[in-house]
Amino acid sequence: MSESADQVRRHIEVLSDFEEKYGKYLVAHYSRQLEGRSDWSSRQWAERERKLRMLAPRAEAAIDASGVEGYAEMSSVILAFKDWVGFSVDARDDDLQREILRLIPSQIAGLHMQLEQAKEREENPKLKLPTVIGRIRHVPPVIGFIADVGGFAVVVLFLGRFAGLW
């Protein structure tokens, strides 16, 4: 089922918040690696990592809702940096994390497209004939109930027989 405009807005907020916090964290992590020092204390690092781990599952749900490519189990890899570079001379220990951050703007754009669709659905709901018929003046409520439960064909058959058409 499609999500409401409010749900999509919340996804956008969560993913935007995650992008900002995760971006700052990665910059600080990279800076700490290069310079060997940090402006954050050990406690501040732990707090930021905890906040990211708490926000990651919601960001992952937002990414899934965006319909744009993402990483499975993102929550488990956002802070899983390699201790060694590996076989590639050009590889960095934070390539995966940078790739996650690089994809977020596209995922937010996907959510904005879904938000437009959700707004359009809410502004122009499809006409549900059985529900409408039950609420027209001079139509007994039982017909509306039958229409909601049994469908439009039951109402047409009932009205046709009642009017003597068949």
Per-position DSSP letters for 75-138, written without gaps between them: HHHTT---SS--S-SS--TTHHHHHHHHHHHHHHHHHHHHHHHHHHHHHSPPP-HHHHHTTSTT
Higher-pLDDT residue of 2 and 18 is 18
% of the chain exceeding 70 in pLDDT: 68
Give me the residue spans of the domains in the chain: 5-123, 129-163
Q: Express each pLDDT in 9-34 by its tens digit.
A: 999 999 999 999 999 999 999 888 88
- Nearest Cα neighbor of 146 from 166, 125, 161 is 161
Cβ proximity of 154 and 141 under 8 Å: no
- Residue 127: the pLDDT is 57
Q: What Rg value do the Cα atoms of the chain yield, rounded?
A: 27
Q: Alpha-carbon distance 118 to 125, whole Å?
A: 10
Q: Which residues contact 143 (CB under 8 A, 6 or more apart)?
A: 133, 134, 155, 158, 159
Q: Alpha-carbon distance 120 to 101, whole Å?
A: 30
Burial, 100: exposed, middle or buried (Cβ in 10 Å; 0-12, 13-18, 19+)?
A: buried
* DSSP symbol at 166: -
User: Backbone phi, then psi, for 70, in 5-degree steps?
Assistant: -150, -175
- Residue 2: the pLDDT is 79
Q: Is the pTM of this model over 0.75?
A: no
- Residue 89: the pLDDT is 45
> CA angle 28-76-82, nearest 5°?
55
- Residue 61: the pLDDT is 94
pLDDT of 51 over the 50 cut: yes
Q: What is the mean pLDDT of the chain?
A: 80
Q: Express each pLDDT in 100-141 by its tens digit.
A: 999 999 999 999 999 999 999 888 877 555 554 444 555 555
